[in-house]
Structure formats: C-alpha cells, structure tokens
Structure 1
Amino acid sequence: MEQIHLVSILFITAFIIQYYFLFRYFLSFVNKKPSLSKRPKGKQAVSVIICAHNELKNLQENLLLFLNQEFEDFEVIVVNDRSNDGSAEYLDKQVKLFPILKTVPISSTPIGFNPKKYAITEGIEAAKNDIILLSDADCYPASAQWIDRMSQCFTTSTSIVLGASLYEKRKGFLNQFIRFETLQTALLYLSFAFKKEPYMGVGRNIGYRKSFFLAKNGFQGFRSLMGGDDDIWVNRYANKENTQICTQAESLTFSNPKESWGSFFLQKKRHLSVGKYYKSKDKMKLGLFHLSQAMLWILFILGLMLGNPTVCLILSFLILMHLVGQYVVFYHLSINFGIRFMHYNLPTLEILFVLYYWIWGIYASLTKHLKWK
C-alpha cells in the first residue's frame, strides 16, 4: 500500500510540473505572437553567412534559394572551409553570376579554434552589414521571404533573433522521430524566449548584429569547444531585452534529415554535449522539465504494474490529460509552422524521446573528443 501511495504522489507531482510548463510557456507561445512595436522604419541591409566544408552537393541544391530572396539589400557570404570537393570552382562560377555573392576561403584553422567557430567568425568579419543571418549549407529557406521575415524581428533594441529550423518529411519511423525531436527542441527554446527567458538557438536559422558579436569578442572563452556556436553563445549573451523570436512559416529553414539511426545519434551527440555549459538556472529549468517528463511515464508504467484498479484508473486519466495537452500544443505549433503533425504516434514518440534524451544525453555530456566533419 505504501508503494502505491508513493508512486501516486510522485506521479501527480510530475504531472503538475508538466502542466506548469504547458500553461506557463507552451500554450501562451503557440497562441500569441511577440510584439514588434519598436521595429525601426524601412528595411535594413542584411548579410547571410553560410559555412561549408566539402558541401558541394548541398551548395548546388540550396545556394540559389538564398541568392534569390525577395529582399532589396542583402549579400550572401559562403565561407569555404578547407573544402577539396570542387566547392571552390562551383562558387567561383556563381560569384560571376551573382554580384551579391561573396566567398571567404579558409585554408587552415588556428590552433585552439574550433573550425566551425573560426569559419563563422571569418564570415562575420567579412560582412558589410550589421544584421547577420546564419544558416548551414545543408539547409534552405522555406520561402523567398525568409530574409524579410527574419530581419523584421530586429527591433531597435534587438541584438539576437531566434528562428526555427525543421527537417523535411520523409518515409519511416526515424524521420518521424527526428521531426518530433526537432519540434520538441524548438518548442522549448522558442517558448522560453517568448517568455523573456532565452537560453539557446539553432545555427541553422539564427540572426544577430555584427556589432554585438564583436563587442562580446565573438566566441572568446569557448572557441575551442565542438558545438556551442549557436546555443552556448545565445546562453551567454541573450536576455529578455535583446532577444526576439521569429516563428512565421515563411521564416523557417529546412534541412535534409539523417537517414540512419547511427548518423542521427552522431549528430545529436555533438548537440547534446554542450548542455553542461549552460547557465545553472537554465540547466535546472530544463532538468526539471525533462525529469518530470521521464518520471511521468516511468511512474505510469510502474503504477499499472502494481495492479490497484483505482490507482490505474487515476493514472490512466491523468496520462490521457497529459497527452491531450501535448497534442494541443504540437497541433498548434505545426499549424503556425505550416507543417503536418504526426498525431497518431505521439505517445510512442514521447516515450522514445525520453529514453533518447536521458541515455544519449548523459553519454554525450561525458564525451570529450568531437569533430566538425
């Protein structure tokens, strides 16, 4: 009997915590839009920076979508980082066709400087405009208005704009999980930023001012780390006054998803390995969310195994309420992003996400030697 009471109390506690995040952050985010009342008049010039290391195929597929944006004053800078796959020759041809395209070749990386961070730094220093938009070579903008939508979010007091980047829909359960994991991550960092508590961004779709980046000495203090060029940087310097979010469907970027579990886990190992460098308050808040999410499912299964009919009925009702809340949030988030929501697999995807986050997250946090390609 004591076991049943303990499981019930812990389960209800986890349920309450999950619903706190639901009402405090998620529902308010998916149903409201941030104010842009301080936006300066007119369109501001923009520099788009894309770092590429042996990305010829992706450049051939995606670069034109960045170059053909419907925007008055912008440039596209491709930082060609030590490529030997013909990228230089391809970019030389494109430079002749598009005056707005500039290339920055890199032949070597300084000792103690992560290659990706060094490439970004070189690109930013070469930019002629103060507003910088960053993406990756394997990404493409969702619309020809991507620059316009992202740049509109730079108000007079804004130094950082957090965008969203999703993955293309493909067949198979792996693709479902990748897209769910990406939506879960986007929901967290965008809803927290909407509530003026920014803690991370994604390098596939992020913007900040060149002057702000240089004033903070770029990646000084963590430039040797693999990863963190987006989330650690945002975690250090974003605050409630200087950060905006951009979540319109036209402002998204998309990437080709990984096609094997091995390549997906390798990619996520790099991303999850930097969470330990977040501010303590952010680690505590994220830890509370993920722990309560895991405990909710563990205690639900444990409660069913104990076999008490009344407890099973209560736990089943509450887990159903949790899933209803999740469904509402992800449904509205998908509507806002203009994508289709995989509703029928939500319980399976969330349980797998819990296992992935804790098992692979702990492993990634203990990994020291990682490389950017």
Structure 2
Amino acid sequence: MDVFNQIDGLLPLLLLGIFGLLLLIQLYFLLFVYRKLAAYKVPSETTNAAELPLSVVICARNEEENLRQNLPKVLSQDYPAFEVILVNDFSEDESKWLLKDLATQYPNLKVVEIAEHVRLKHGKKFAVTLGIKGARYEHIVFTDADCVPESDQWLRHMAQAFTGGEEIVLGYSPYAKGRGILNALIRFETFHTAMSYLAYALKGKAYMGVGRNMAYTKSLFFRGKGFAAHMHIPSGDDDLFVNQNATPHNTVICIHPEAHVWSAPKTTFAAYYRQKTRHAGASKAYKPAHRRMLATQLTSAFLFYVTAIALLIAFPQYWPVVLGGYLLRLLLQLLIYFPVMRKLQVKGLIWTLPLLDFCYYMYICINGFFALFRKEVRWK
C-alpha cells in the first residue's frame, strides 16, 4: 500500500516535470528559431542590377482552366529577360490548344509536351526535369499552374535574391482566404510551415522549400544529379531537392509582399488529408538531423497540450501551474508570430491563434502518424 501511495504522490510531480520540459523546448523554438524571421527586415526595393535572365518552369496536368486564368499573369511579368517553360504533362483536357493560342500571343512561352507511355509511368519529377533541361537560362524559377503572382514584380524580387551568388531562393506561397475552419487551418498550417523553413534558412539550416514559389540554378540541379537520390518517392521535387542541396551559404529567402505567389486551398478535409499525407511521405526522406529537428518541434507541442490536459483532469489542484505555462507560451507566440504574420499576409489569424495552434498540432501529428502506413504512388 505504501508503494502505491508513493507512486500516486510522484505521478503529479512527474507530469509537472514533463510539462516544464516540454514548455522549455517550445520556448527554445520560439526564441531561437522563429524570432529570426520576426526580426528579419524585408528588402524594400529592387535594383536594375538584378536583371539577370530567368527561366520559369511550370508543370501542368489537366489544368486548362487554371492555365487560362493564371498563366498570362506569369507571362506578363514586368521583367526584361525571361522565358516560361510550360511542361504539359499528358493532359487529357484542352490544355494543348489553349497553350498553342497563348504561344502566339506571348513569344516568351515555350511548351514541352509529354505523352503518356503505356508501359512507362512517371511522376512530377520527370516533368520538372524535362522543364529544366529545356530551360535556356541558368537561373530557374518554379511555380504551379494553379498559382498566381501577387504582382508583376515577382520575378524582379526573385532575381534580386540571386545577386549575392546564391544558388537557392526560397519564396513564399500563401493560400487565399475563405470561409470556415478548414480554410483557417490550411492557412495557419501554411504560415507555420513557411515560418519554420524560412527561419531555419536564416539560421543557415535550410531544410525545405515549396515548389509553388522557389528558384535555384540549373548548374546546381545537374551537379547534385537532379532527383536521382529520391526519384522513387512520388513527391518531393521541391522540399527533398532543397533538403539534399542546401548549404549554410547557398540559400536565401525572398518574402517581399510583391513576390508572394497565391494558391487556392483545398475545400474538403479529405483532399487536405491526401495532400498532407503526400507531403509526409516526402519528409521521411529528409536528412536525419532535419527529421529530428522537426519531430522535436511537433511532438513537443503535441505532448505539451496532452500533458496539460492530463494534469487538469487528473490533478486539477495544479491548474495555476498549467495555466501559467500555457499563458507564457501564448504570450511569446503573440509577440513573435504577429510580426511574422504581417510579413506573410495572414495577420488576421492572430485572433484565433489559441484555437488554430491546438487544432494544428493535433491534426498534423495524428495525420502524420497514420501517413506512416499509407502509400502514395501518384502526383495527380
């Protein structure tokens, strides 16, 4: 009986100790990682010295309507020397004829057609590789068919980021604002993901990028043997390439508001689940140090909430300690997240931060667990 009494007495102390440790880990990420981006000063102007020629590569499969709406805004960038390589990857809609019409209007549009082979199935990495091989210029900017630049200065800002001799430029691609909790969750997840990879890039530890808005050099692609190391993984043409090739000295960020590239978010939880599962499949191939880094951040936040709830249910007398730890973390989040949210054009999410933060970690961690048991074999 005495043994059980001792265990009962030690259990709340053990939970409090775990709660305190998890809080310290979370404070570390806030103060020593994300604060880097909060303090970052976005360059306010572009210069003519940044006008090096660019190739823009876009891969599309059955994206006729998106191409009709968005491609002219890419082709009409206010930039002196650029081409757009549109890889039409076995589209079964009317994309081919639309692209023929656009090519007559825009001489800087080059279309690469891919026909599906009966015995040869390929993913997006094959299409991206053909686009890079077809590019005329050394510096290549990437986006998707369902994306639209914030302004006609997008390429000018991306080009300026290369002027220090860097080889990788990490841009930012937010999702459009809509109604409902799913839209808010998607936008918050996109913000949090961007805050993480941009802040780590500023620390010299870049680990991923997003293909809706990023750039790198053609020579880096071929020097690193393209996607050869992870061609067997359906996704990862963007984040795995950066994970494999980024160094502390060859990667910069470009987050000027005029350089953002917008996308339409998923509208159902099922579609969002499939998207996040595909992304989780690529993250399993990250370098071990990066996997540990991301796992520590995500699981410590998830367990922070779980431990707090367990303490409140099992030992409610310790509510002041739990509330104090929670409020300390929330206060630092508000102070650090808000300037980042302003830079990334999602400052309205600050009002629902407590709810979104909780939902985000619950969803991402639980979905990531189930993603371990699911195989994803197709790009589209």
Tell whether the structures are fold-level matches, with TM greater than 0.5.
yes
Tell me: CA distance 1:246–1:112, structure 2 relative to 1, closer, same or farther (3 Å): farther
Matched residues, number: 370
Q: Residue 122 of structure 1 aligns to which amino acid in structure 2? A: L
1:2 and 2:10 are equivalent in the alignment: yes
Aligned to 2:5: none
Contact 1:113–1:224 (Cα < 8 Å) also in 2: no
1:220 and 2:213 are equivalent in the alignment: no
The Cα shift of 1:77 comes to 1.2
Unpaired segments ≥5 residues, structure 2: 1-8
Three-state SS of the structure 2 residue aligned to 1:166 is coil
Tell me: CA distance 1:23–1:112, structure 2 relative to 1, closer, same or farther (3 Å): farther
The Cα shift of 1:108 comes to 2.7
Q: Residue 249 of structure 1 aligns to which amino acid in structure 2? A: P
Aligned to 2:330: 323
Aligned to 2:96: 88
CA RMSD of aligned residues (A): 1.9
Three-state SS of the structure 1 residue aligned to 2:56 is strand
What TM-score comes out, normalization by structure 1 length?
0.95
Aligned to 1:120: 128
Identify the match of residue 357 of structure 1 among 364, 372, 376: 364
Among all aligned residue pairs of Structure 1 and Structure 2, give the percentage whose two residues are the same amino acid. Answer: 35
What TM-score comes out, normalization by structure 2 length?
0.93
1:268 and 2:276 are equivalent in the alignment: yes
Identify the match of residue 31 of structure 1 among 22, 32, 39: 39
The Cα shift of 1:308 comes to 4.2
Contact 1:112–1:224 (Cα < 8 Å) also in 2: no
Aligned to 1:346: 353
Contact 1:112–1:223 (Cα < 8 Å) also in 2: no
1:305 and 2:313 are equivalent in the alignment: yes
Instruction: Provide the C-alpha distance between the structure 2 equivalents of 1:252 and 1:49, rounded to a whole number of angstroms.
Output: 17
Instruction: Provide the C-alpha distance between the structure 2 equivalents of 1:145 and 1:41, rounded to a whole number of angstroms.
Output: 15
The Cα shift of 1:334 comes to 1.8
The Cα shift of 1:328 comes to 2.5
Aligned to 1:253: 261
Instruction: Provide the C-alpha distance between the structure 1 equivalents of 2:48 and 2:70, rounded to a whole number of angstroms.
Output: 31
Three-state SS of the structure 1 residue aligned to 2:348 is coil
State the structure with more CA Rg: 2
Identify the match of residue 44 of structure 1 among 52, 65, 69: 52
1:296 and 2:311 are equivalent in the alignment: no
Three-state SS of the structure 1 residue aligned to 2:284 is helix
1:174 and 2:171 are equivalent in the alignment: no
Tell me: CA distance 1:72–1:61, structure 2 relative to 1, closer, same or farther (3 Å): same
Q: Which deviations, in whole Å up to 9, do the C-alpha atoms of 1:135-181 show, x marking residues without a partner?
A: 00011111111101111111343111111111000011110000011
Instruction: Provide the C-alpha distance between the structure 2 equivalents of 1:234 and 1:250, rounded to a whole number of angstroms.
Output: 23
The Cα shift of 1:111 comes to 6.9
Three-state SS of the structure 1 residue aligned to 2:87 is strand
Q: Which deviations, in whole Å up to 9, do the C-alpha atoms of 1:305-355 show, x marking residues without a partner?
A: 13343x210110110111122222321112112343212322221222122
Q: Which deviations, in whole Å up to 9, do the C-alpha atoms of 1:181-234 show, x marking residues without a partner?
A: 111111111111110001111111110001111121211121131101011111
Contact 2:54–2:82 (Cα < 8 Å) also in 1: yes
Three-state SS of the structure 1 residue aligned to 2:216 is strand
The Cα shift of 1:83 comes to 0.5
Tell me: CA distance 1:99–1:274, structure 2 relative to 1, closer, same or farther (3 Å): same
Aligned to 2:344: 337
The Cα shift of 1:295 comes to 1.4
Unpaired segments ≥5 residues, structure 1: none
Instruction: Provide the C-alpha distance between the structure 2 equivalents of 1:110 and 1:152, rounded to a whole number of angstroms.
Output: 44
Tell me: CA distance 1:193–1:42, structure 2 relative to 1, closer, same or farther (3 Å): closer
Contact 1:40–1:156 (Cα < 8 Å) also in 2: no
Instruction: Provide the C-alpha distance between the structure 1 equivalents of 2:128 and 2:336, rounded to a whole number of angstroms.
Output: 34
Instruction: Provide the C-alpha distance between the structure 1 equivalents of 2:15 and 2:307, rounded to a whole number of angstroms.
Output: 6
